[in-house]
Amino acid sequence: MSAAKATEGKGTAVDPLSLDALRVIGQELDGHLPDVHPRDAWTDRKLHYNLVNPANRRRFKIIVVGTGLAGAGAAAALGELGYDVEVFSYHDVPRRAHSVAAQGGINSPRARKVDNDSIDRFVKDTVKGGDYRGREQDAYRLGEEGIRVIDHMQAIGAAFAREYGGQLATRSFGGVQVSRTYYTRGQTGQQLEIAAAHALSRQVAAGTCKLHSRQELLDIIVKDGRAQGIVVRDLVTGKVRAMTAHAVVLCTGGYGNIYYKATLAKNSNASAIWRAYKRGAFFANPCFVQIHPTALPLMSQWQSKKTLMSESLRNDGRIWAPRKKDDDRDPNDIPEEERFYFLEERYPAFGNLVPRDVASRNIRERIDAGYGVGPLKNAVYLDFRTGIERLGAKVIRERYSNLFDMYHELTGEDPFQTPMRIAPSVHFTMGGLWSDYDQMTSIPGLFVGGEAGWGYHGANRLGANSLLSGCVDGWFTLPYSVPNYLAGLLGKEPLAHDDPAVTQTIADVEARVERLLSVNGSHGPDYFHEKLGAIMDRYASVSRDVEGLTKAIGLIRELREEFWRDVKVIGEGDRLNQELETAGRVADYLELAELLCVDALDRDESAGAHFRTDHEIDGEAARDDEHWCFCSAWGVPAESGPDAGKHIRNYEPLTFVAVPLQQRNYK
């Protein structure tokens, strides 16, 4: 394994958009992995963690940003342990965090069914599903603690579906051949988030956690090489203020909304993790973006976002497209022999439950080849006729009623009578802030959890592993690893609010806000966001190639210059101003988008959701394990010197012991 190709052509003029001009190779990173078999790594690490005496815990202040499953879990658990926890959210109440939108289920290798499931099989599925670009040790922790998660979430109020005899019900998700997904019809995230928010509220009432609502993180305070606080803006009053602490935990979600129209809530954004990156935290694998195969297709250019249809629907729904191009017939009038069930025919072993990256590529291939359906010819069918005939409408309604109702309300079509129309959409990001095995970023004292991080999912997340990773990070990882770090700070007080590092960071935030307000151009921030989304959709989505990525980088740079020259932010900064909020987030997207495309251009292979058309074998992703079996962790470009302005790609080598490297095969 090498760090891939080093830069060439030094001392000669190079194209400003060539790879040599865009990036340099940095250092090899140490993930601080236990020197034991991956199966034993988490047990070994917990045994060697430093502890904090219960009487000393209240002396430590911890900031947790975000109140989704990872953030609410971490804050509630640390508060329960006795730490002084400050919790920040840009929502009015914790339960509005985007974890509430997850639908299909949460995985756990509890192996309560006689289908040969186990932790080892869970790890194999997760590592293989991620196309060998995530940590094997992290996957074992996910499986080991995942067994505890179901019992824990049930105990604090999550209402899981049950079978007739009272046992918790499970179903299958993509990329596996067992039934390990626990669910609450199509609203599992909602039930888990409500339970986590209630647990957090209990600690708020107990006084161990203090909740700061409608506060947006705009910077990280770093002094002496440690994260020692944050700077936030009150979204109601516009006031900018600082909060210092012994440690900061970011659980702020992913960056999928960089594509403008995605399945994420419109408020979901990348500013917290991007601010951390700008302060020195490495950004891991930004090009690993998940395109979910079953979202509602765009029905109008005026549509503000896309809507997810749960992967669980693929248990009883069959995906097909007409065998005839531009077939305008009603789907019920198309005979069976003229329907192409392409996933079932191409992948007989897994059928419609192939991993998301595989399903999305195949759906996109059918649409692009001229077999799309619907008014805009931008979808394929998800058909429940066979499931209804086999199980009956009553059973299908029990399993998916809220999803069917939602589809009916949005489209006016009844899935019991006519097939759903579905299409791929950006849904999740496997990239995020790089962290070591203890969930600590390259800035000591700055921890990360949930989708804001990177470790579990590699180049493609398996369905129902997202809710699991958020719960595992929040309830069963950060409450161990953060105290291990704090133990070395006993006797030290949080940074004073008049410290120069604090006042300077506040000044930086205020200057950036003023800069956004003072441009006074002719277009609002959404104008630029939409243009950015069009670039990303065209050149950095389901498929990528060198020419397209190079063009995208140039277009993004031009758009970023236009933004700072012509953005118009109405209103003032000292009050509620959603245009100002949006402008700050779009400004960050315009920088992150370039790094995403540089990472995709740099990673000279296909892996999972990163599908380079110049690296494929019979339509499947062709990895290059000899040169690219590592995590790319990008650092902030230098401001001066021969490599000024170039993105710095550090790397953490990945090794696989329990699940040896092999080409994925779902056929």
- What's at 159, amino acid-wise? A
Residue 43 CB: number of other CB atoms within 10 A? 13
Query: How far, rounded to the nearest angstrom, does the alpha carbon of residue 303 sit from its chain's CA centroid?
Result: 23
Cα(268)–Cα(102) distance, rounded to whole angstroms? 14
Show the 3-state SS of 419-457: CEEEEEEEEEECCEECCCCCCECCCCCEEECHHHCCCCC
- The tokens describing 641, both together, are 């010197």
What tokens does 409 get? 């309300």
Compute, in degrees rounded to 10, the torsion defined by CA atoms 629, 635, 639, 640.
Answer: -40
Q: What stretches of 368-392 show up as alpha helix (H) in DSSP?
A: 385-391
Quick one: tokens of 87? 């919790």
DSSP states of 509-522 = HHHHHHHHHH---S
Instruction: Identify the three-state secondary structure at position 154.
Output: helix
Straight-line distance from the first to the last Cα atom of the chain, in angstroms, rounded to the nearest whole number: 28
Sheet order of strands, 215-223 included: 215-223, 226-234, 240-244
Q: Kindly write down the DSSP assignment for every residue of 467-478, as one continuous string.
A: HHHHHHHHHHTH
Is 461 strand, coil or helix?
Answer: coil
d(CA 226, CA 247): 9
Secondary structure of residue 394 in the 3-state scheme: helix
* CA 169 from centroid of its chain's CA atoms: 26
Q: CA–CA separation, 93 vs 215, rounded Å?
A: 11
Output phi, psi for 215, to 5 deg.
-125, 125
Tokens 């199509």 correspond to what residue? Answer: 186
Separation of alpha carbons 452 and 83, rounded Å: 23
C-alpha to C-alpha distance for 538 and 577, rounded to whole angstroms: 31
Q: Which of 57, 180, 356, 399 is catalytic?
A: 356
Report the interhelical angle of 465-476 vs 136-155 (nearest 10°). 80
Residue 10 neighbours by CB under 8 Å, 6+ apart = none
Q: Is 162 a catalytic residue?
A: no
Tokens for 441, please give them. 């970023």
Q: How many CB atoms are located within 10 Å of the residue 278 CB?
A: 15
Cα radius of gyration rounded to whole Å, the chain: 24
Instruction: Answer yes or no: are the C-beta atoms of 610 and 457 closer than 8 Å.
Output: no
Active site residues: 356
